[in-house]
Amino acid sequence: MIRPILHRVAQALLVALMVGVLTFALMRSLPGDMAWRVAAGRYGYDITDAAVMEQVRQSLALDQPAALALLSWFGDLLRLDLGVSLISELPVVDEIAHQLGASVTLALTALLLSVLLGPPLGVLAGLRPGGGLDRALFALSITLRALPQFVIGLLLIYGLAIVFGLLPASGHGEAGHVVLPALTLAIGLAAVSCRVARDATVAVTTSGYYRFGETKGLRPLDNFLRHGLRNIAVPIVTYLGVQLVYLIEGVVVVETLFAWPGIGHALVHAILARDVPMIQGTALVMGLMFVLLNAGVDVMCGALDPRRRTS
C-alpha cells in the first residue's frame, strides 16, 4: 500500500514542478519591464512610479538571475503563497477556494452519472454478446466518441434546454444547473466505460471459474453477484484512472461552455487576461485534483482486488 502512495506523492511534486517552471517562463516572457507590468496591474497605471516598481522588483526577485529567482519562486510555492491576482487584487488562494467547490461538485457529479450510465448498460450488453443491445450500444459508443465534449454540450443545450426547455442552459446556483454540464461530461465518459464493462463481462462469463459456478448449480443471479460483479468492476475502475485525463480536460471546456464558475473557467479567463499568479494557481490546483482523483482510483482498485494488496 506504501508504493502507490509514494508514486502519487511524486506525481503531485512533478505537477507542482511543471506548473512552476512553465508559469515562471510565462512570467519572464512578458514583454517590457515585468516589474512595471506587474506593478501597474496590481496598483493601477496612475499610481505606479519608480519606487513602487522597485518594491515589486524586490518582492518578486525580478532583479536576481533566473536560477535564483526560480528557487525563490518555488520557496513561495512550498509555503502555498500563490501571490495576488493581477486583476482582482485578491489573494489567489482565496479566489481558488471559491471556485474549487464548484469544480469538484461538477467533476464528482459527472463521475457518478457516468458510473450509473455506462457500466450497467455495458454489463447488460456483455451478457448477450452479439445481441441487439450489444450492437446498438457499439454503434452509439463509436458515434459518441467522435463527438468532442463541446459538441455533446451544444447538442444537449439545444435539445434539453432550448427545444424542450427542461433544464437551464447555463449558470450556477440551483441544483438544476449542474445537470447539463455534468451530463455532458458523463456521456463522454460512459461511451468508453460501457465498452470496457461489456468486454470485461464477456471475459468473465466465458471464464472457467464462472462456468464452474454454473455447473455446481448456482442460480444465474447468485453466480453473477458472487463471482461476476467484482471481477467485472476491477477493469472498469482501473480504466477510470485513464478517463480522469478526459474528465479534467473536459472540465476546462465544459465550464467555459456552461459559464460554470469553477477552476477551468478561471484558468481560461486568467490566460486571456495574462494574469500569471491566477494561471499558476488554477493550473496547479487542477493538476493536484487530477493526482488526488487518481489516488482515489488506486484506493478503490486495492479495495476491489485483493491480489493487488499482496503483490
Partner 1 sequence: MIRLSRGQWAGVALLLLLALFALGVPQVVPGDPTRQSLSNALLPPGGPFLFGTDPFGRDMLLRLAAAVRLSLGIALLTTALAGVIGVALGVLAGACGGWVDRALCGVADTLLALPGLLLVLLLVAIAPGRFWPLYLGVSLVLWVEYFRMTRAAALRIAASPAVEASRLLGFGPFYRFRRHYWPELAPITLTVGAFGSATSVMSVAALGFVNVGVRPPTPELGQMMIELMPYYNEAPLILAQPILVVVLLVLALNLIAGGKTQ
What are the residues binding partner 1 (CB under 8 A)? 11, 14-15, 17-19, 22-23, 25-26, 29, 138, 142-143, 145-151, 154, 158, 162, 192, 195-196, 199, 242, 244-245, 248-249, 252-253, 256-257, 267-268, 271-272, 274, 279, 283, 286-287, 290-291
**CA 70 from centre of chain:** 28
Beta carbon of residue 310, minimum distance to partner 1 (angstroms, whole number): 25
Q: 43 near 303, Cβ under 8 Å? A: no
Instruction: Please tell me whether residue 91 adopts helix, strand or coil conformation.
Output: strand
Q: Which is nearer to partner 1, 241 or 302 (CB)?
A: 241
Listed in sequence order, the residues at least 6 apart from 52 whose beta carbon sits closer than 8 Å to its beta carbon are 39, 43
Measured CA to CA, the distance from residue 165 to residue 87 in angstroms comes to 36
| Paired residues of 84 in beta bridges | 91
Q: 288 near 80, Cβ under 8 Å? A: no
Q: Which is nearer to partner 1, 53 or 291 (CB)?
A: 291
Beta carbon of residue 146, minimum distance to partner 1 (angstroms, whole number): 4
Q: Which helix (H) or strand (E) holds 183?
A: helix 179-205
CB atoms within 10 A of CB 8: 17
Beta carbon of residue 221, minimum distance to partner 1 (angstroms, whole number): 27
The DSSP 8-state label assigned to residue 126 in this structure reads: H
Measured CA to CA, the distance from residue 25 to residue 70 in angstroms comes to 9
Listed in sequence order, the residues at least 6 apart from 75 whose beta carbon sits closer than 8 Å to its beta carbon are none
Beta carbon of residue 252, minimum distance to partner 1 (angstroms, whole number): 6
C-alpha cell of 17? 514542478
The position carrying cell 519572464 is 28
Beta carbon of residue 276, minimum distance to partner 1 (angstroms, whole number): 8
Torsion of CA 180, 186, 192, 198, to 10 degrees: -110
Q: Which is nearer to partner 1, 11 or 207 (CB)?
A: 11
Q: Which is nearer to partner 1, 24 or 227 (CB)?
A: 24
The position carrying cell 482498485 is 301
Q: Which is nearer to partner 1, 91 or 241 (CB)?
A: 241
Beta carbon of residue 161, minimum distance to partner 1 (angstroms, whole number): 11
Q: Which is nearer to partner 1, 158 or 209 (CB)?
A: 158
Q: Which is nearer to partner 1, 35 or 157 (CB)?
A: 157
CA max distance for the chain: 87
Measured CA to CA, the distance from residue 141 to residue 144 in angstroms comes to 5
Q: Which is nearer to partner 1, 183 or 252 (CB)?
A: 252
